[in-house]
Structure 1
Amino acid sequence: MTYDVRPSFAPQRHWCLRRSGATYTLDSWELPPSVGAEAGSHPAEHRTVSFPSEVATLVRQIWLNAILESHYPRFFLAGADGDDYYFGATRDDSLLLRAEVWSPDADLPPRWLVDAGDQLFNYAQTGSNDIAQVRKSLVALRNRLFSYYEKHGRH
């Protein structure tokens, strides 16, 4: 699973949840802005933390279902006054699925995913030992998303 935030004039934030055998790691890094005075000014500094498999499963459930339920408007407006958010997940058949959104602010699934992605980025960057809080937030998000999709989804 991946999460990327690309602001115009602030550092980009990225994370990638990786599986190696039975273990998972959450790798995070920042890149300089793509435009402005700091553009390309320093290399990425990666931080990696171990990640429990049951929490990785939650992230995968959330990301895959949210991506599969994504809807895109006919006209997509974006600009330098907001941030682009990208979500990625690989299915069992190794097909990479992606979704993107520009500066969501409504209390809807795109905003909820951005908040979860930011929480995971901060967890990976700080090396916090409070995985219980992350797990609790992800369970609440999964329940909220699935409830929303039951009422508003494509099925």
Structure 2
Amino acid sequence: MIRYTLKCSEDHSFESWFASASAFETLQTAGQLSCPRCGSDHVAKSLMAPRVSTARKSDIATDADEAQTPVAQTAAQRDADTQKPSEHPDAQDTQATLSAMRDHVEKNADYVGADFTKQARAMNDGDAPARSIYGEAKLDEAKAMIEDGVPIIPLPFLPKRKLN
């Protein structure tokens, strides 16, 4: 799985997971990607820095290296770093958008549960009439469908019926 930071034509930034780089390109080419905020289907990868963490700090740091290490940060950086996710200005917008997306999917698509893979493939092959469905699929099955060009996309929430 690979995570990309994406940006829409309205300059909204968001993240999404894909099975591979080619899966992203396939979905983008098919017009299956859209901004969760405004619904724009003009979505592209945004510049992002990789997150790299080390298992331990180096014990070989010299006094010269320590003297050149910046330790100051502006008040704005400090406030941004200490802000809780629920306090983030866009957190409420994001929650509202996800809630609206869930409501839309549940009202306009049929829940097929674990039968999702079978039904999605049947519709893609023309063996079943096309309709909007959602459900669950195992990770390897979802990857295989994306690689085979079946137009599916992971949802950023679990179906209410599946919650314990």
TM-score, with length taken from structure 1 = 0.24
Higher strand fraction (1 or 2): 1
More helix, by proportion: 2
**Larger Rg computed on CA atoms:** 2
Q: TM-score, with normalisation over the residues of structure 2?
A: 0.23
